[in-house]
């Protein structure tokens, strides 16, 4: 079973990025994931003009994809934290941008606020209007 919670978003200052999609790894039972992170991911998807891919770790097929994505690009442990959010670029690169926190849902919400106020996010938002 995966743990429900996030930690800090990794932010990089970059030139213009060609994004393909935003992906969130979550579980329906996780209060850090639903509704909080799912709603924030939908908002980010709209603001960045990107499709949103939702990978639910309780769906066997989606869990395999989620585990691989987190293993290669996220905060991986056997019982990794959720939600985790990724930006997938056209060139195949994947950027991990958020992991939930186990402390409390307001901590995860604060990380979302920090991410969406960050220069990195604002730059992406301006590029993808």
Task: Give 76's contacts (C-beta < 8 A, 6+ positions apart).
Answer: 70
In Å, the largest CA–CA distance within the chain is: 38
pLDDT at 15 over 70: no
Task: Give 97's contacts (C-beta < 8 A, 6+ positions apart).
Answer: 9, 10, 11, 85, 86, 87, 115, 120
pLDDT at 9: 38
pLDDT tens-place string over residues 16-65:
678 999 999 999 999 999 999 999 999 999 999 999 999 999 999 999 99
The share of the chain scoring above pLDDT 90, in percent, equals 82
Domain boundaries, the chain: 3-127
Say which CATH class 3-127 falls into: alpha beta
Regarding pTM above 0.85, the answer is yes
Strands (E) in the chain, as ranges, are: 3-4, 6-7, 19-26, 52-56, 81-82, 84-89, 94-100
pLDDT tens-place string over residues 60-109:
999 999 999 999 999 999 999 999 999 999 999 999 999 999 889 999 99
Pair of tokens at residue 96: 């991990």
């Amino acid at each position: 079973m995966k743990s429900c919670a996030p930690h800090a978003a990794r932010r990089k200052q970059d030139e213009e990025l060609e994004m393909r999609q935003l992906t969130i790894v979550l579980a329906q039972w996780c209060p850090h994931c639903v509704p909080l992170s799912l709603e924030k991911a939908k908002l980010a998807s709209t603001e960045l003009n990107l499709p949103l891919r939702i990978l639910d770790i309780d769906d066997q097929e989606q869990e395999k994809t989620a585990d691989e994505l987190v293993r290669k690009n996220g905060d991986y442990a056997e019982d990794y934290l959720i939600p985790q959010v990724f930006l997938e670029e056209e060139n195949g690169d994947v950027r991990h941008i958020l992991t939930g926190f186990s402390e409390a849902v307001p901590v995860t919400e604060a990380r979302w606020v920090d991410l969406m106020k960050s220069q990195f996010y604002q730059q992406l938002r301006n590029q993808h209007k």
